[in-house]
Amino acid sequence: MGAADRSTVNSRLLLVRRPTGVPVADDFALDQAEMPEPANGSFVVRNLFLSVDPAQRGWSTTGTHYAPPVPLGTVMRALAVGQVVASSNDAFPEGTHLYGWFGWQEYALAQAEDVLTVIESLDISLSAYAGILGINGITAALALDRIGQPVAGETIIVTTAAGAVGSVATQLARAAGCEVVGLTGSAEKVALCVERFGCDRAINYREGPIEPLLDANVARGADILFDSVGGDLLDAMLRRLRRGGRIIQCGTASVPSWAPPPTGLRNEREILLKGLLWAGFVIFDHVPAFEGAVRRLATMLRAGELVYDEDIRHGLSAAPGALADVYAGRNSGKALIAL
């Protein structure tokens, strides 16, 4: 694919307002800029699939440990799968498929450090590299390995179990011989968790108070909590952990806002008396392990041992709404924007 395929303008989604809580459409503006030209080792990536991730809330507001907030008036930070269409870098020649920090835009002027994965096996759908073979699947695999350390026969609670991370964590925990109880937000997703992803049981936390739901479904306690929701749900699940339990903190999606600082049950006594281990999993602390994780997941995919769902919308302007839907639980599978 060469320069001839490129239009002369680059459509981009700029962050124009700091979201209060979950980002909404008006926090972004569609913009048209000149097509970038590569120089001094940079290269132009034509984005094919834009990733829509809960972490974007943090990037658009306060930033995170590994990245400052997205400056207002600049392209919204996002992961994407794309193809190099012009290059001044021999390591990333035209035609190369990449997964990396290419932003919510049609074309990215990228540097080597923006690349997370060079996509070598085109026998798997390219979109998969932005989901189950991207940070979602890698997060599930590495967080489970490094913090959860599942042992056959143990019980794990997986939150957002029908989601891009949770559905992979569920399948990997099952493959490790664990009993998996999924937590999700609708009756349809409960069915998906059990029938498609292999949860032994699943809970719709919107069905009623969480305590009796957990009592019914995790009666004997759990050994691992794969938590992406935080809040009162976390407190309730944490209290169902057995001695020596591990909590993987992977997200805090259920907490609408951190300003003013929300309060909840004190958890240090549970941690102490049960000898719990509670660790935050920050995927970008584990970049050297990405390649191995992607290979392992790809092998399982080819062997038919992993399934995944995608919720693909079309066109740049669909991105903000897709992000809002992720927070509202209205997506079904990994949220992607096809360009």
Rounded to the nearest whole angstrom, what is the least distance from the CB of residue 105 to a copy of itself in the complex?
26
Binding track, positions 31-60, relative to a copy of itself; x by CB under 8 A:
---------------------------x--
User: What is d(CA 82, CA 97) in angstroms, rounded to the nearest whole number?
Assistant: 6
3-state secondary structure of 338: strand
Q: Could you say which residues in the range 81-100 bind a copy of itself, by CB under 8 A?
A: none
Compute the least distance from the CB of residue 291 to a copy of itself, in Å.
Answer: 21
- Minimum distance from CB of 323 to a copy of itself (Å)? 19
The count of residues in the chain is: 339
Residues 197-236 that bind a copy of itself (CB under 8 A): 227, 230-231, 234
* The only residue of 4, 152, 273, 303 in contact with a copy of itself, by rule CB under 8 A: 273
Asked if 280 touches a copy of itself (CB under 8 A), the answer is yes
Tokens standing for residue 255: 């907490």
> What is the CA 148 to chain-centroid distance, rounded?
18
CA distance 187 to 193: 10
Structure token pair of residue 16: 């124009």
Residue from 71, 177, 208, 244 touching a copy of itself (CB under 8 A): that is 244
Q: Smallest distance from the beta carbon of 235 to a copy of itself, in angstroms?
A: 9
Q: Is 24 exposed, middle or buried (0-12, 13-18, 19+ CB in 10 A)?
A: middle
Decide whether 175 or 287 has the Cβ nearer to a copy of itself: 287
| Separation CA 241–CA 146 (nearest Å) | 18
Q: Which residues lie below 8 Å from residue 246, measured CB to CB, with a gap of 6+?
A: 147, 148, 149, 223, 224, 225, 276, 277, 278, 279
Q: How far is the CB of 247 from a copy of itself (least distance, A)?
A: 9
Residues 248-267, mask of contacts with a copy of itself (x by CB under 8 A): -xxxx--x--x--xxxxxxx
Size of the site for a copy of itself (CB under 8 A): 38
Alpha carbons 339 and 105: distance in angstroms, whole number: 9
282 in contact with a copy of itself (CB under 8 A):
yes
Q: What residues contact 272, with CB distance under 8 A and at least 6 apart?
A: none
Binding site for a copy of itself (CB under 8 A): 58, 64-65, 227, 230-231, 234, 243-244, 249-252, 255, 258, 261-282, 285
